[in-house]
Amino acid sequence: MSSIYTPFFKNINIVNSIKNMNDRTLMVIKWIFEIALIIILSFMYYLNQPVNSPKVIYIPEGSISKIITQLHNKNYNVSKLDTFLLRIIGSPQSGWINIGTTLNSRGDFLYKLTTAKAALQSITLIPGETTYIFFDQLAQQLKLDRDILQKEYELQSSWPEGAFVPNTYMLPIGITEKMVIKILLKESLSQMMNVSQKIFGTYNEKRWFHFVTVASIIQKESASIKEMPLVSSVIQNRIKKGMKLQMDGTLNYGKYSHVKVTSSMIKEDKSTYNTYLYGGIPPAPVCNVSFDAIRAAIFPAESNHLYFMKSKNGSHDFACNYSTHLTNIKRATK
């Protein structure tokens, strides 16, 4: 009897084994599907999480992981997982990018990191211009709030004037007032420190801005690079003799940058910029200055000049005594 039913039971066992195998396979497939679904839903949830950022942000050059680390250090809501996602989406664009809005889903934010670019606006600060007038220019060209620019400058700068290096800067449209000031101060300080290192071998802020202050007077009095060392010598010679500088250019500070200095203005202005009223140089620069003016302040010409007067051709006539100076005045005013 056993010989008759053994094949039958064997067939049943095979069928059951196949069934069990199929059940296990279906269960594994189900598990894989569920895990994949969980992963997909988790990614979808993660990619839809909100990310807050300024409309315009700066992306440094470097690897994806370095960029994500720097963004994280600046308190952007990014993580190491975003490094992996960006390797799939694409490499971030270095430089200024315009995100467009301050609130994006993570997916949109990461995508914009790889595709967006910010429009740049060139801003030129000319030598001898005051920060007050420069802020008027910045506010108009970049559509910024002038009062906030002024407030941010006062918060970020140690000096009321002269902290910017005249130059042409490329600034992204849509940037905040705080970031504009931060960028301009950082780039200007870097240039100043570089020149100071070359001249003095070090950078001492107090000493450097003493020369910037002298340079600002030179800059206001003459735009001629050739004349600057001579104007510098007049400043040094008058200070050595205990004479007041009595230079009109020091009254072209702040909002008075382009105002013609008159005798009534000289009498009425009680600020420390008035070198007719106070001896020595002002306590702070009169304007933002070129490196040519700074070098002239550091290396004045050797002369005995105590006076100078603008001639009809736009240059200056220098004099060692007052009588010659009076003659130069008469010749210039004829």
* The predicted structure's pLDDT at residue 1: 47
Residue 259 near residue 136 (C-beta atoms within 8 A): no
Closest CA to 242 of 272, 270, 282, 278: 278
Q: What global pTM score does this model have? A: 0.78
* The predicted structure's pLDDT at residue 18: 60
* The predicted structure's pLDDT at residue 255: 96
Tell me whether residue 123 is exposed, middle or buried, using C-beta atoms within 10 angstroms of its C-beta: 0 to 12, 13 to 18, 19 or more: middle
* The predicted structure's pLDDT at residue 223: 86
* The predicted structure's pLDDT at residue 42: 74
| Segment 153-167, tens digit of pLDDT | 999 999 999 999 999
* The predicted structure's pLDDT at residue 86: 84
Domain regions of the chain by residue span:
1-31, 48-89+109-117, 121-199, 203-333
* The predicted structure's pLDDT at residue 105: 87
Distance CA 152, CA 239 (A): 35
Residue ranges in the chain whose pLDDT is less than 50: 1
